[in-house]
Chains A and B, each alone.
Chain A
Amino acid sequence: MTATIFFNALLQCLRPSVIFFLFLGSLIGTLIGALPGLSATMGIAILTPVTFWFAKENGFAMLMGLWNSAIFAGGISAILINTPGTPASICQSFDGYAMYRQGKGGLALGVNVIYSFIGGFLSVVCLILFSTPIARFTIKFSAPEYCLLALFGLSMMVAISGGNVLKGMILGVAGILFSCVGLDPILAIKRFTFGSVNLMSGISFIPVMIGMFGIGEVLYQMYSFRKAEQEKEMAARQVNIALGRILPTLKEFRQLCVPTLIAAFEGIIIGAIPAAGGDVASIISWGNGKKMSKHPEEYGKGSLEGLAVSSTANNAVIGGAMTTMMTLGIPGDSVTAILIGSLTMYGMQPGIKMFTENIEFTGTIFALMLLANVVFLFFGLATAKVSAKVLNVSQPTVWTAVSILCVVGSFALNNSFFDVCIMFLAALLGFFFKVFEFPTGPFVLGLLLGNMLEANLRRALVMSYGNWSVFVTRPASLVLLLLIIMTFCWEPIKRGVKKLKSAKEKSTDTVG
């Protein structure tokens, strides 16, 4: 991407209508992020169908504003009521809430906004600088590489299924299986359509996402609802501790420079890894920050550095995730998975084509990402003290609105009641997945990447006249294959080395 294209796109994005939708998205994102139980994924899933009525710049402005703001706003409830608004803000509750109890709530809210902005801004700069070379590299990719790329995305998702690797694999496979519904990508044979015309085009991805992350989440919250806990939380929201100053001093800012820069780059790299989201980045950066800090004993007890590090990391993930999505077509997290669906609805395909045929719109997306960070910085600082009021909304208020918006949104996509049924079934499935502790991520990714995996596998075999060695004889595909094997073997190897180490230590102790 040339500077001219980017600056032209930036100028286009400074139109009043785009700025309006950016602000609107930012406002909705702040509400969604600040309310515990509502995630950025849920917000994007529900709003995506709405954006199809707008010009694509306006639609994406709204989504980008929402996404960036929701991640930063997750820190508001983490700081004020010790409950992360989004999974990515889990580490902000460690230090942010302690700061709030010490009467430094305003400073905690201010640091959250400023360092979320710094993390987000740096990640967008990296996205602008590195996405074009990565995309250029993918020109050499053919069917075998795309097949293995899809498999790599899936293997990463399964590998980080939080101790539930077996369940992650099951849902990953199930997701790919569901992607087989509809017309065969090579031979156009009807598969699992059971005579239904609606099923011929396959299971739509966006209604599934709306159902799983919308009504599915509401049903789970209803199931796990504890009245006593809710009352305790509502009482905590009413407590009015003085918030104090918002901005950090210049000395504090200087002290935070190095650790937050490291956290930003950690966040960007973690974000670029398929399926590793803000929660992973935040936890890793907070842990590393503690190890490298001059005052590790303060971490978890109201450390300004701890809060700044985790705030930086969780917003830095966004640019990393976008890099993977825009260049390789592999979602970096669940939000980028929906954005792939959104781009497809606009007739665009993430990957190299975004940097050739749709280069202008790619520039617009980059510019919107940059502006979204600026918007939430001003918006967040201006409303830091008022934002505490958002938390007075109770869960049942949100449940009704989310349930109804899910129905309306899934219908409005294609004016199809069939999509509403798919959404509702996905919601029930999502509820059971959560109850039985199945990670939903691999299912969603399997459904999204299944077609890419199958079509490219079979295309590769058509190209090689059925010779499977095509996957190991091409350098790029061989590297990808080795990466996939590494992903699956990493955990057992790590466990084996740990066991060996502990056995060695034991034997040394016995000899001693």
Chain B
Amino acid sequence: MCTGKWYRGDTIPGLIIALFGYAVVVYTLVEPTFTWRAQTSDGVPGGGFFPILLGVLLGVLGTILFIKGLLEKGQVTYFKIDKEVKCNLYKLAKTVLAIVVFFIIWQSTKKIFPSFIPCIALLSLVLNKLFERSFKYNIIYTAVLTIFLYLSFVVGFSVQFNI
């Protein structure tokens, strides 16, 4: 069924890809070291040859995808959002946020104390809570996983997580 919504389907991905491709071309042309031909020997491509070629190709292919998306007039949709998917997306966003927060805490505290293992334990607790696991299960799972990672990576492989 045609919904007439032009922005559905491949339209926006096509537009983003096309803009990205053309942006690469512009950046390459502006940068003086990225020449089409090498200045050292005749007829040989320079550092800008491949990026320009690929940028143009990506731009053209993205434009074709964009036009294809427009012509499909919203008949193809990738995001079919119902109540369950909405809930899933919410959970997904929280997972991504939890990982980002983990990165921030780990990097900002690593010079104060060896924070990686406690941060991993915290991340495991948060993720299991997000995935609706029971409290008892969460504690046991986190303890087992953290001990395993500590023994194998920190003690066994001597990985320096605080660098």
Contact = CB atoms under 8 A, between A and B. Distances in A.
A166 B24 contact: no
Q: How many of chain B's residues touch chain A, expressed as a range? A: 35 or more
B43 A176 contact: no
Nearest to B18: A170
A465 B42 contact: yes
A415 to B, nearest CB: 5
Contacts of A61: none
Given A411-B159, A412-B159, A173 B57 contact: yes
Interface in B1-27: 10, 13, 17, 24, 27
B47 A436 contact: no
A412 B157 contact: yes
A189 B34 contact: yes
A173 B54 contact: yes
A417 B141 CA distance: 25
A225 interface: yes
A435 B152 CA distance: 35
A219 B54 contact: no
Nearest to A183: B47
A466 B95 contact: no
B127 interface: yes
Contacts of A511: none
**Secondary structure dominating the interface of B:** helix
B160 A415 contact: yes
Contacts of B50: 176, 180, 454, 457
Given A219-B95, A222-B92, A403-B127, A173 B157 contact: no
**Secondary structure dominating the interface of A:** helix
Contact of A462 (B10, B44, B91, B107): B44
Nearest to A467: B43
A184 interface: yes
A174 B65 CA distance: 14
Given A219-B95, A396-B132, A191 B47 contact: yes
Contacts of A227: 84
A187 interface: yes
Contacts, number: 138
A192 B152 CA distance: 37
Nearest to A466: B43
B113 interface: no
Nearest to B94: A222
A215 B145 CA distance: 17
B34 A408 contact: no
Interface string B117-155: 000100110011001110000000100010001001100
A219 B103 contact: no
B131 A396 contact: yes
A215 B84 CA distance: 21
B127 A177 contact: no
Contacts of B161: 411
A401 B149 CA distance: 11
A302 to B, nearest CB: 34
A470 to B, nearest CB: 11
B92 A400 contact: no
27 contacts: A173-B58, A173-B61, A174-B17, A176-B54, A177-B24, A177-B54, A180-B51, A180-B54, A186-B47, A187-B40, A189-B47, A190-B33, A192-B51, A215-B99, A219-B92, A219-B95, A223-B85, A396-B133, A397-B141, A403-B123, A404-B127, A408-B120, A408-B149, A411-B159, A412-B153, A462-B44, A466-B42
Which 6 residue pairs are nearest across A and B when measured between Cβ atoms? Answer: A466-B43, A396-B131, A189-B47, A184-B47, A53-B157, A177-B54
